[in-house]
Amino acid sequence: AHRVALVDFGVKLNIVRCLTERGCRVRVFPMRTTLSDMLAWKPDGFMLSNGPGDPAAMPDSVDLVKQVVGTGLPVFGICLGHQLLGESLGMATEKMHHGHRGINHPVKDLTTGQDEVTSQNHGFVVKRTDAEANERVEITHMHLNDGSVAGFRLKDRPVFSVQYHPEAGPGPYDSRYLFDRFVENLHAAVPVERASKQNA
């Protein structure tokens, strides 16, 4: 089973369920944890949970996320986790005039061209101009009502995040494929990790 270290910024139980349903073993770590504490458990990847708060006012969490990305292991961020990931990559987050709240927000997956109905509950967003200017980043999801960034991925490692709740229930199930994508990244990363240990 793939071991997923879940950094808890105010986690929803459904995130854990979506991972365990896909055969992952999950351990929840508090947001004040250290990278060395998590690495001692030998995780195959990291999940950055949702939660309340202004990501720009959480420098310790941004620093932790930066260290997590630095491991090169797969990372999946949701909502606040997505915003903290953005901040850790040098992209600003900004307060929205009208936050996205509800279970019927249309989002386009730019990697597949598919539209999906998403559940959202957030008042901050990763600044689009920053995401477009960041050469390491590809915007993968866009909110169809206002063009805001609804997801991005890193081009140089298996790290991605979305601004909505793919785990939502009750709510749309359109976005559960993101958990499959994360598990595929875990599958792909493990042989490389083992091979590098054998060659060390």
Would you please indicate which residues are annotated as catalytic (active-site) residues?
79, 165, 167
**Residue bearing tokens 């420098």:** 59
Contacts of residue 133, Cβ cutoff 8 Å, sequence gap at least 6: none
Q: Report yes or no: 100 and 122 within 8 Å, Cβ to Cβ.
A: yes
Contacts of residue 190, Cβ cutoff 8 Å, sequence gap at least 6: 2, 44
Our separate counts of H helices and E strands in the chain read 6, 9
Contacts of residue 112, Cβ cutoff 8 Å, sequence gap at least 6: none
Q: Report yes or no: 44 and 189 within 8 Å, Cβ to Cβ.
A: yes
Phi, psi of 124 (to 5 degrees): -125, 160
Q: Distance between CA 51 and CA 117 in Å, rounded?
A: 21
